[in-house]
Amino acid sequence: MTLIDIGFGNRLVAERIISVVHPASSPVKTMIGLAREQGLLIDATQGRKTESVIVTDSGHVVLSYLTPDRIVENLHKEEEQ
């Protein structure tokens, strides 16, 4: 089990991540709203601007203030170790 940093010391299991996307598109905003309604939204931004949306294989949607590029970079760092 590999944990990756998604900001502010919050971590996700890397193997459970399906995608990391930017929150600007309308479909992603819709997905965030549906996840909120279903109780599957996890806000890990600590009040900062949402820069990336992480979708997990369990259907949870995680918001992070780190950019998608930074999260993928953190994922690759953990794979190298």
What value does the mean pLDDT take over residues 48-55?
A: 97
Spans of all domains in the chain: 3-80
Q: Answer whether residue 65 shows pLDDT above 90.
A: yes
Does residue 29 have a pLDDT over 80? yes
pLDDT of residue 49: 97
Q: What's the pLDDT band for 34 if we cut at 50, 70, 90?
A: very high
Average pLDDT over residues 58-66: 98
How many residues are listed for the chain in this entry? 81
Quote the pLDDT of residue 43.
Answer: 98
Coil, helix or strand for 81? coil
Q: Long-range contact list for 22-28, CB < 8 A, 24+ apart?
A: 22/51, 22/52, 22/53, 22/67, 22/68, 23/50, 23/51, 23/52, 23/53, 23/63, 28/53
CA dihedral for 64, 70, 72, 78, sign (positive or negative): negative
